[in-house]
Amino acid sequence: MANKNALDGELVQLAKLFAPYTALYAVGGCVRDRIMGVACHDIDICSPLRVEDVKRLLSGSEFQLSDKSLRMGTVIISKGDFRAEYTCFRTDSYEKGSGAHSPSEVRFTNSILDDAQRRDFACNAIYLDVLKGEYVDPLGGIEDIRQKRLRRAKEDVFEADGLRILRLVRFAAELGFDPDKATWDSAVENAWRVRDITVERVREELISCFEADVKHPELKRTGAHLEAFRALDSLGLVDMLLPELAALKGLEQPRQYHLYDAYEHSVKAFELSPPHLRWAALLHDVGKAPMVAQHGNMHGHDVAGEEIVGKILERLRFKKSEIRRVTQLVRWHMVDINGNTSPAKLRRFVVQHADIVEQLCELVDVDGLASAGKLTRPNRLREEYEFLKRNGVPLCVKELSVGGDDLIALGVPDSMRATALEELLEATAMDPKLADRERALKYLAKFANRM
């Protein structure tokens, strides 16, 4: 759902179809966010009607129904851009101690109280009668919202589903809510259950935690991603889920360059980073602990870190493109660390790594700020990058003023064309005048004559 008014329109039309039989309720985050006055993104709806009854009800209407999990009594109802997840009232049972996210037994019910008690937190168990516009609040969730409090829907919330521990951290950070003592104590006691959650679900919750500050811009939750990380750490989940990062705890660094140990430095870099840079910032120094263990110093931690970060992200089943992006940022975050790389070499580096260079410039600055609290040296990589952009220098082969047809006309064989364009790209970084098409053609002609 794109905004807080999206509980109108198609949803009202849908509720009118239900009206002869039962009230249709919106529930969960969309209702919570409506009460808070912030944009909500997903619509969850429910009623006592079973899925087969809903199918009959919507037959012949403009609404489409597609199965999601019939065992759970869940289907997707859509019409044009409108999409809602419908679940009939139910109660759930989980196998004790299993840590499973899906219940072992589902029982459908007509009781809204029973349905409320199978949810995670009281603030997510508020029901809005779509047609009447009235709230049904079996667990006192509206008062929890007023008090900015996260409270379990029932005592065994985390025992039933360990994923809710990560959701607790996420909601607290995104909304600025505090768990009550009983809820937090239960999360601590049951944190081990996160180990049994599927990797994909863990990954998605971690991503959301690390972007908690941008979920609800209206709330201006500056620093919420750091709050989420500290909560994960307090629960022991950093040690569990990111042990390579946890290995940096207490690892001292040279005080002339660093205000913090390797772990707190990494967390500070994470704090200072924009969302797209946070995984790289948090993990950029994970190679330090093994380097110290093997060699007694941190030299080469960037190279070691590339491999370690790759394994971490593969373990969390990130997309290959994202793994490559983050590992490359980690591999090169020490570029020009001594400030003595020649401008020519830096320009070649820019065109060789054009896909990550802008983010790498950000990471270099973040690393510096997280080390000394201020930037102590110029970012020469950024200087050369900006120079090339100001002078209209192509940063990739596709931006060159010449291409394959020109190479064919010059008689360059297919096997050498990529090499020719790559050489021209690097040469143009050294001499921006080669961005001109006529000069570029002359360069390629010389390349052809060398063959």
d(CA 92, CA 209): 26
Structure tokens at 245: 């990062």
pLDDT given for residue 293 in this prediction: 96
Q: Which of 251, 252, 229, 253 is nearest to 241 (CA)?
A: 229
Q: What angle do CA 446, 345, 418 make, to 5 degrees?
A: 40
Q: Which of 450, 443, 399 is nearest to 424 (CA)?
A: 443
pLDDT given for residue 1 in this prediction: 36
* Beta strand pairing call for 74-79 and 127-129: unpaired
Q: Which of 60, 95, 87 is nearest to 71 (CA)?
A: 87
pLDDT given for residue 7 in this prediction: 58
For 444, what's the count of Cα atoms within 13 Å in the CB-facing half-sphere?
29
3-state SS track over the chain: CCCCCCCCCHHHHHHHHHCCCCCCEEECHHHHHHHHCCCCCCEEEEECCCHHHHHHHHCCCCCEEEEEEHHHCEEEEEECCEEEEEEECEEEECCCCCCCCCCCEEEECCCHHHHHHCCCEHHHCCEEECCCCEEECCCCHHHHHHHCEECECCCCHHHHCCHHHHHHHHHHHHHCCEECHHHHHHHHHHHHHHHHCCHHHHHHHHHHHHCHHHCCHHHCCCCHHHHHHHHHHHCCHHHHHCHHHHCCCCCCCCCCCCCCCHHHHHHHHHHHCCHHHHHHHHHCCCCHHHHHHHHCCCCCHHHHHHHHHHHHHHHCCCCHHHHHHHHHHHHCCCCCCCCCCCHHHHHHHHHHCCCCHHHHHHHHHHHHHHHHCCCCCCCHHHHHHHHHHHCCCCCCHHHCCCCHHHHHHCCCCHHHHHHHHHHHHHHHHHCHHHHCHHHHHHHHHHHHHHC
440 residue type, one letter: A
pLDDT given for residue 281 in this prediction: 98
pLDDT given for residue 73 in this prediction: 77
* Contact criterion met (CB below 8 Å) for 156 and 189: no
- pLDDT tens digits, one per residue of 202-243: 999 999 999 999 999 999 999 999 999 999 999 999 999 999
Q: What angle do CA 199, 216, 357 make, to 5 degrees?
A: 65
Indicate whether this model's pTM tops 0.85. Answer: yes
In this prediction, the residues of the chain whose per-residue pLDDT falls under 70 are: 1-7, 68-72, 92-105, 451
- pLDDT tens digits, one per residue of 66-81: 886 666 678 999 999 9
pLDDT given for residue 69 in this prediction: 62
* Contact criterion met (CB below 8 Å) for 369 and 271: no
d(CA 433, CA 438): 10
CB atoms within 10 A of CB 8: 11
pLDDT given for residue 448 in this prediction: 84
Q: Is 256 exposed, middle or buried (0-12, 13-18, 19+ CB in 10 A)?
A: exposed
d(CA 344, CA 257): 27
* Contact criterion met (CB below 8 Å) for 223 and 213: yes
